[in-house]
Structures are given as C-alpha cells and as structure tokens.
Amino acid sequence: MKTTNFLASSCRYCRYYQTEGRRGGMCQQLGVPVRAEWKACTLASRPFTNTWESLEKAVKLENSFSLKCPVNRDVIGVNSVPS
C-alpha cells in the first residue's frame, strides 16, 4: 500500500506546529516561532502519519543491510551451541 508523497503546504498543516496566540505558533521541530501561513520547510511532516509507512522503510533498510553485508554465521558463533 503506497500513499502519495505529500508534505504539509504551510506551517499550520505540519504536525510540529503548535498554535500560540492569535497570529502564530511554535515549530516544535526547530524550537522557533513561526507564522501559520508561512510555506512549510523541508522538515515538515503530515499531521497524521501512518506507522506502517515508517515500518515499511525500516524493513527495506534491514533487507538492504542483509543483502550488502554477508556474514558467515559460523565465524561469529551464531549457530554454535554453547558448551
């Protein structure tokens, strides 16, 4: 299952935006005051992300490591029975 690569278009739609007062808020990611109408930065994240998306990335990363880093299990003692 894939979703579109959607980012928040402005700070107010970012998950790290926290409203403060009438005109602006704080970016919890950067720790700085921002305006709601500002264009979102490259660190912006959708307000509702799916945990399976990050899990899918982790599985791909794990598979890429196992494909690129072959290990002889007998050498490191993984398959051996302790005496």
Helix (H, G, I), strand (E, B) or coil at 59: helix
Identify whether 75 is part of a domain. Answer: no
Higher pLDDT, 14 or 75: 14
> Virtual CA dihedral for 19, 23, 26, 30, nearest 10 degrees?
140
Identify whether 45 is part of a domain. Answer: yes
What is the per-residue pLDDT for 34? 94
Identify whether 79 is part of a domain. Answer: no
Q: How far apart are CA 14 and CA 12, in angstroms?
A: 6
Identify whether 3 is part of a domain. Answer: no
Q: Count how many domains the chain has.
A: 1
pLDDT digits (tens, 9 = 90+) for 1-10: 444 445 578 8
Identify whether 81 is part of a domain. Answer: no
pLDDT digits (tens, 9 = 90+) for 28-79: 989 999 999 999 888 887 766 665 556 666 667 666 665 555 566 666 665 5
Identify whether 26 is part of a domain. Answer: yes
What is the per-residue pLDDT for 27? 92
Containing domain of residue 53, as a range?
Answer: 11-70
What is the per-residue pLDDT for 4? 44
27 DSSP β-pair partners: 17, 32
Instruction: Report residue 46: phi and psi, to 5°.
Output: -60, 150
Identify whether 24 is part of a domain. Answer: yes
Q: Region 2-20: what's the mean pLDDT? A: 75
